[in-house]
Structure 1
Amino acid sequence: MVTNKRMQELINWINDGQLMKFYKSKEWFAKREQARQRDNYECQLCKAEGKYHRVENVHHIKEVKTHPHLSLSLSNLQSLCIACHNKVHERLDEQHEVKFTNEERW
């Protein structure tokens, strides 16, 4: 169990833009593992589509930067693969980005 004092310290790190301190904390590692176990180490978005992919990230449904008080709430966490995590955050997958080039010269 996280004490109120410790939770406030974690929230202060988030509010001060020191996210790496939060993500390296023992509290985050423990809560992250709880979420992974709860979700059977499966990406929940792939599972919803009838696919299987092993979990690679634990996603904060409500962003940690805007909802730091929910940063360790199990109900705010979702196990995802990297591709689904990138989709949720609308990040481009540069390795799979299709680039059209025309080599012809007229």
Structure 2
Amino acid sequence: MNRYRYETNNNTFYHSQAWRTLRRQALERDKHLCQICLQHNELTFADTVHHIKPIRENDSEKLSLENLVTVCRKCHNELHREKPMTLKNKKRRLNNYTNLVKRFTNNKEVW
């Protein structure tokens, strides 16, 4: 097992007021819709907020709205599969989500 993934304790962070506020903002920004399913023209309710760049790799962006994407539980489980991915697949997946966030932050449409 990767000790950086499984021996981290972020409970304090995930129970903080700052995280809860930012999480709510991300959910409202994405209208509680899974952004991955939306790419496949599926409307799926989402209640999970995912860090695009993991906290263990970039602690300075853990409270950055641009580093968050709203996903459904199914997609979140896919993102955090127990089976390790190749480095090539991880980089491709990270690049896809980074591009997705750029698309949403540049969208000035108001409802």
Q: What range is the shorter-chain TM-score in?
A: 0.5 to 0.7
Unaligned runs of 5+ in 2: 1-6, 84-111
- 1:18 Cα shift? 3.3
Alignment partner, residue 36 of structure 2: 45
| Mapped partners of 1:81, 1:18: distance in 2 | 23
| Mapped partners of 1:88, 1:47: distance in 2 | 16
Question: What secondary structure, in the 3-state scheme, does the structure 1 residue paired with 2:49 have?
Answer: strand
Cα root mean square deviation, aligned: 1.7
Change in Cα spacing, 1:91 to 1:82, as seen in structure 2 (3 Å) is farther
Alignment partner, residue 7 of structure 1: none
* Aligned residue-pair number: 77
Q: Equivalent residues in 2 for 1:47-66 (5 A)?
A: 47-66=38-57
Q: Give the fraction of aligned pairs with identical amino acids, expressed as a percent.
A: 35
Could you tell me whether the CA contact under 8 Å between 2:27 and 2:47 is conserved in 1?
A: no
How high is the TM-score relative to the length of structure 1? Answer: 0.68
| Mapped partners of 1:33, 1:41: distance in 2 | 10
| Mapped partners of 2:32, 2:59: distance in 1 | 24
Q: Is 1:36 paired with 2:42? A: no
Runs of 4+ in 1 over 3 A off after TM superposition: none
Alignment partner, residue 69 of structure 2: 78
- Quick check: which one's helix share is greater? 2
* Counterpart code for 2:23: R
Alignment partner, residue 13 of structure 1: none
Which structure has the larger Rg over C-alpha atoms?
Answer: 1
- 1:76 Cα shift? 0.4
| Mapped partners of 1:50, 1:17: distance in 2 | 35
Question: What secondary structure, in the 3-state scheme, does the structure 1 residue paired with 2:44 have?
Answer: coil
